[in-house]
Amino acid sequence: MFTEVLVALVIGGLIYFLVQRNRTQVLKAEDGWWGAGARSAAEEDVTIRPFKVTTSDEELEDLYRRIDQTRPVPSLEDSQFNYGFNSHYLQKVLSYWRNDFDWRKQVDKLNQYPHFKTNIEGIDVHYVHVKPKKVPQGTSPIPLIMVHGWPGSFYEFYKLIPLLTDPSDPNDLVFEVVCPSIPGYGFSEAPHKKGFNSVCAAHIFHKLMKRLGFQQFYAQGGDWGWLVTTNMAQLEPKIIKGLHVNFAPPAKTGLLMTLSIMLGRHFPKLFGFTDRDIERLYPCWEKVVVESVKETGYMHIQATKPDTVGRGLNDSPVGLAAYILEKFSTWTNPDFRNLEDGGLTRKFSLDDVLTNLMIYWTSGCIISSMRLYKENVANGLNDTHVKIPVYVPTGFASFPHELLHTPKLWVQQKYHNLVSFTPMPRGGHFAAMEEPQLMAEDIQKFIKMVEKKKQ
């Protein structure tokens, strides 16, 4: 009896030690210098400068000339979007872009919210900063940073922002929202040095929020925004009050995850698998492996030689349109591959997807945006942040047509303080842009739960 108790105490003590050791793990990041040339000896310029999106006749004339000089290539018969962006439908999109799309009007729409730039670690960081028009008496707005991914931009959040800063329900929380452009994306300057990965972006965004005067704040992200905000929670967990993500691919395959894959179909309740989990995960070969091969070709290119294909995309607006808009079709719903028009306008307007595209075209950022894959995937699973759990309160919105389906059990392997897990009724990869109302409701629900716990 004594031996059994002793063994139990030793095992319990070991488990406690390992848990406490993990709790003390914090991601480390050093200050970098991403500007051109050697670091300046002068003090960092911490000024915040107003910024406006602009355009010119010359910019538009150059765009139209390049569209007019495209060389159409017919798609295969009955191929829809299964070979990529259908050329026949692409001609219709190009006709709208060339003759009907009003970029000047969209520039005014982009400028409806205040834009700023500030220099951090040698590069200019662009961000949108929206404060609420009205704040209930006796309360303060809740600061929230929202980070986009590829091939998106800060524009993904434009329909979501007013739902958070000026909610119609008087019982809802009121937010002050900051939407930065990841360095190398949109109007943020691209790093001039190798090695700028998601941790570097997270470090810079922490500096940005501190420069704006926020001591604590919430963070939200999908796609690369998921990883950047996760890294922010790992870097300074006491500053991130809560983390909300709508994308969370498994960081690594542990024993529990392996067992769940092997046995989950036959013993779903044992692993908390739902009907949706079973539908999305099995049979494994068709649902996971084959789909991954179909939809990750771009990733292999961008994670190895982004500058090669990027040069062609940077010269050709038509090539850039096919490359980016195809993602807004297939990543919204994989079944859209079987439609002649790729279902592109079933969830988005052409004005919205072309506005996002124009942010890439006018800023010339396609190559620098693709390099983030090279920098993040270069070290693979050896990156330190992969092994560090997240203990910040986390909310996960699980959209049914997301690229990778992650059951609750798998999310919990990384996010050890999972406060909310919401199976969404509809939506895909670009959730904030596609389903802003659903996203706003889930952010509200999650942060209300965290705030209530803190009280």
Q: Does pLDDT of 143 surpass 90? A: yes
Q: Does pLDDT of 21 surpass 60? A: no
d(CA 176, CA 142): 6
383 is catalytic: no
Q: Please identify which of the residues 360, 373, 415, 442 carries the catalytic annotation.
A: 373
For the chain, the C-alpha Rg in angstroms (whole number) is: 23
Q: What is the pLDDT of residue 24?
A: 58
The answer to whether the Cα torsion of 169, 422, 355, 50 is positive or negative is positive
Q: What is the pLDDT of residue 5?
A: 42
300 is catalytic: no
Mean pLDDT (the chain) is: 92
Q: Which residue has the higher pLDDT, 111 or 262?
A: 111
Per DSSP, helices labelled H in 236-343 are 255-263, 275-281, 284, 291-295, 297-302, 306-315, 317-330
Q: Please identify which of the residues 127, 155, 158, 223 carries the catalytic annotation.
A: 223
Count Cβ atoms below 10 Å from residue 445 Cβ, excluding itself: 15
The answer to whether residues 205 and 232 touch, using CB atoms and an 8 Å cutoff, is yes
pLDDT (tens digit per residue) in 298-328: 999 999 999 999 999 999 999 999 999 999 9
Quick one: pLDDT band at residue 250, thresholds 50, 70, 90?
confident
Q: What is the pLDDT of residue 51?
A: 98
Q: Domain coordinates of the chain in residue numbers?
A: 48-454
385 is catalytic: no
Q: Nearest Cα to 391, choosing from 208, 225, 236? A: 236
CA distances from 104 to 56, 60, 67, 100, 351 (A): 9, 10, 18, 12, 12
CATH superfamily for domain 48-454: Alpha/Beta hydrolase fold, catalytic domain (3.40.50.1820)
Q: How many CA atoms lie within 13 A of 161 on its CB side?
A: 23
